């Protein structure tokens, strides 16, 4: 693990990282969303190494990260006005757009699809690393497949030590949730994954934006995921997690009843609701954050989920998160982490 010094492409650490990428090796690097596991996005063998290091199914698409918008035209068959408008509005930043891929992009980097996912991060260290690599870097989150995404270098080390030659430490991630993904390869732009930018922000630029039904259901057997995080169980701690929806008091009563049955139980609870659980001393309460501050909850969410596996628990319950700002994105991650275990009280 090496700390990024000056966020400049000529930084010796970033020069080393860029050389590794060009040789077909893997490098974990920070972004404003989560840490990424990067490889040469134009090299099929590098893409295979990413899937192997993560234990990731090869039909799960990767995102190609670029340092400059000028790199996009060579990666796509067409760079339409609506894509340029999104880039102008949200790049560099936590937005990924999907477009029909050019012949330069191997199918190994796209999960076998004819489309490619593209993003320009805003993190200064990430941008400097991408410039040092001097090519598009394919990168999913830098965790073992299914685990919570890492938002600090120490979490990458937990999952990737001995699997990759270099981890770049750029400090904690500012946002903490993966990028918004919008599909522009279809007639009506479609939201595939909520993130820092929500549906309203996209509609202000694009007009009508559809929402993919897979946001609210599991994909069918044989149905190909259009973007990362759509098909497989994601963001999950090793201990079983159940998401509980409903009114505050009945929800608290249900969770306390489950804890009273005997198993070692924890609950992720909104700060405002902690007092509702005072009659369950055997229940380990973990503050999820205030329901009025979805940005802070998003920033801490994955580190909270990772911490659960260090507590010798049998089961974990989590209160659902209200709508508003990043609420939809937080709920998307929690529902994936629960793997379909959602109870409405």
Say what the pLDDT of residue 56 is: 78
Asked if the domains at 2-178 and 241-344 fall in one CATH topology, the answer is no
Q: 42-72 pLDDT, tens per residue?
A: 999 999 999 999 987 777 899 999 999 999 9
Could you tell me the pTM of the whole model? 0.92
Position with higher pLDDT, 110 vs 261: 110
First to last CA, the chain: 45
Q: 299-327 pLDDT, tens per residue?
A: 999 999 999 999 999 999 999 988 777 88
Say what the pLDDT of residue 115 is: 98
Task: Provide CB contacts within 8 A for 231, sequence distance 6+.
Answer: 57, 59, 60, 214, 218, 219, 223, 224, 225
Q: Give residue for tokens 């070692």.
A: 264
Distance CA 203, CA 100 (A): 21
Q: Which CATH number fits domain 2-178: 3.20.20.30, 3.90.870.10, 3.40.50.720, 3.40.630.30?
A: 3.90.870.10
CATH architecture entry for 241-344: 3-Layer(aba) Sandwich (3.40)
Over the chain, what is the mean pLDDT? 93
Q: Give residue for tokens 């922000």.
A: 201
Nearest alpha carbon to residue 170 among 152, 157, 156, 155 = 152
pLDDT at 127 > cutoff 90:
yes
Q: 145-194 pLDDT, tens per residue?
A: 888 999 999 999 999 999 999 999 999 999 999 999 999 999 999 999 99
pLDDT at 226 > cutoff 70:
no
Domain boundaries, the chain: 2-178, 241-344
**Residue 144 token pair:** 């073992």
């Amino acid at each position: 693990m090496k700390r990024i010094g000056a966020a400049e492409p000529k930084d010796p650490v970033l020069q080393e990282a860029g050389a590794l990428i060009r040789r077909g090796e893997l490098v974990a690097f920070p972004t404003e969303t989560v840490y990424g596991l990067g490889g040469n996005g134009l090299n099929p063998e590098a893409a295979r190494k990413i899937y192997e290091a993560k234990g990731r199914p090869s039909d799960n698409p990767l995102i190609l990260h670029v340092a400059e918008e000028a790199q996009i035209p060579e990666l796509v068959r067409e760079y339409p006005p609506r894509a340029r408008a999104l880039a102008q509005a949200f790049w560099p930043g936590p937005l990924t757009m999907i477009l029909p891929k050019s012949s330069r992009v191997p199918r190994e980097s796209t999960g076998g699809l004819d489309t490619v996912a593209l993003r320009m991060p805003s993190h200064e260290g990430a941008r400097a690393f991408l410039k040092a690599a001097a090519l598009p870097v394919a990168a999913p989150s830098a965790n073992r497949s299914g685990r919570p995404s890492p938002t600090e270098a120490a979490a990458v080390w937990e999952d990737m030590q001995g699997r990759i030659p270099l981890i770049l430490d750029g400090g904690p991630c500012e946002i903490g949730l993966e990028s918004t993904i919008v599909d522009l390869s279809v007639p009506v732009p479609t939201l595939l994954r909520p993130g820092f930018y929500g549906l309203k922000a996209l509609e202000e630029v694009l007009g009508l934006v559809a929402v993919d039904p897979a946001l609210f259901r599991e994909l069918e057997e044989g149905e190909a995921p259009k973007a990362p995080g759509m098909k497989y169980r994601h963001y999950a701690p090793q201990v079983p997690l159940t998401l509980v929806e409903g009114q505050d008091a009945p929800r608290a009563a249900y969770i306390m009843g489950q804890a009273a049955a005997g198993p070692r139980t924890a609950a992720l609870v909104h700060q405002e609701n902690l007092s509702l659980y005072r009659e369950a001393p055997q229940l380990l309460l973990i503050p999820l954050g205030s329901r009025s501050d979805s940005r802070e909850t998003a920033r801490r969410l994955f580190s909270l989920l990772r911490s659960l596996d260090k507590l010798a628990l049998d089961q974990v319950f989590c209160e659902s998160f209200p709508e508003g700002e990043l609420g939809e994105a937080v709920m998307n991650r929690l529902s994936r982490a629960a793997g379909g275990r959602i109870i409405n009280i």
